[in-house]
Amino acid sequence: MPVRAAGAESGTGVPKSPSATMEELEHTCPQPRLTLTAPAPFADETSCQCQAPHEKLTIAQARLGTPVDRPVRVYADGIFDLFHAGHARALMQAKTLFPNSYLLVGVCSDDLTHKFKGFTVMNETERYEALRHCRYVDEVIRDAPWTLTPEFLEKHKIDFVAHDDIPYSSAGSDDVYKHIKEAGMFVPTQRTEGISTSDIITRIVRDYDVYARRNLQRGYTAKELNVSFINEKKYRFQNQVDKMKEKVKNVEEKSKEFVYKVEEKSHDLIQKWEEKSREFIGNFLELFGPDGAWKQMFQERSGRMLQAFSPRQSPNSSPTRGRSPSRSPSPPWVINKTSPPSSPKAASASLSSMSEGDEDEK
């Protein structure tokens, strides 16, 4: 990028110093704008018109570079309806053709465009403003001519004209740039395939019903859209049908999401149940299995109960009471059943003898 000339803060190349002479003003050309904080100026609003003699440049000289105060003035023109990326890329190519260039863009008016090409979507004011806000544009020329005349080229000090090399037949001519090419002032640019104003309009016409329904839904009236009463009702009905389809679709998606969550939760619950069941079975076997804690506890308690019911016999070394060796003493309440008393007197005699025996033992 060339160094900007001193005093060219506004993009017009006018020195700020009040002591500048008329001769300095006449030889000062507008400089390419380096700041993008403001839109490009219009040609008829610039405060400085270059009065210096226009020196003819060759393409070879322009490619080598020019002095900072003498940028190469490149001109590109067009309709620029529905300004799109293809337009911007063409202007970028025109801007970068030479190391030091000043890009002027001419935009044809509505009257001229409708006469030679046809109706536009955007009016001329909208098209002018679209060009002013493109970063590659240094100056916009309103109401540009359809065919470039020597007077127009001299007025704007144009060095070269940039356009795609396809012959542009219009206004009774096979190629409106033929005389520019013959003068050695034409520099070709490349078209961007796949996008053009005609392509965009074709998409709109093809999908007219979709855009009409969308704008009706956004609040535009049928009169503003030039839609008949029947078509308006049809479009509104289709919008309602689309809303119902969208609701059904949302319900289906939510249902699928709910089912997925339920399946995921069920899987987690089954997994947790399996883990808990294994833990329960393990604990049960530890408690009630063949070698479980319950069996050991039951055996210990059974041994204690058996000891309680059948205590161990006294040791042989324990002292014994004096008894007759012939028989062990019988309890006093045991009655000799072998010889029952034959009479009450005999029974009383036997009881008295038993009591005497107890006294003897005492």
271-328: per-residue pLDDT in tens? 888 888 878 887 777 777 677 676 777 777 777 777 776 666 655 655 555 454 545 5
Local structure of 162: helix, strand or coil:
strand
Let me know the angle formed at the C-alpha of 176 by 175 and 178, rounded to the nearest 5 degrees: 65
CA gap 303, 306 in Å, rounded: 5
pLDDT at 241: 84
| Domain ranges (residues) in the chain | 59-194, 198-292
pLDDT at 182: 93
CA gap 191, 89 in Å, rounded: 8
Tens-digit pLDDT profile for residues 166-194 = 888 876 778 899 999 999 999 999 999 99
- Among residues 95, 185, 77, the alpha carbon closest in space to that of 138 is found at 95
Decide if 159 contacts 74 (C-beta within 8 A).
Answer: yes
pLDDT at 69: 85
CA 88 vs CA 24, 91, 92, 105, 284: distances in Å: 35, 5, 6, 12, 82
Work out whether the CA dihedral 288, 292, 294, 300 comes out positive or negative.
positive
Look up the pTM and report it.
0.60
Which residue numbers in the chain have pLDDT < 70? 1-28, 47-53, 171, 289, 292, 294, 309-362
CA gap 287, 189 in Å, rounded: 93
Query: 59-194, which class in CATH?
Result: alpha beta
Decide if 187 contacts 97 (C-beta within 8 A).
Answer: yes
pLDDT at 130: 97
For the chain, the straight-line distance linking the first and the last C-alpha, in angstroms and rounded, comes to 144
Q: Which helix (H) or strand (E) holds 189?
A: strand 186-189
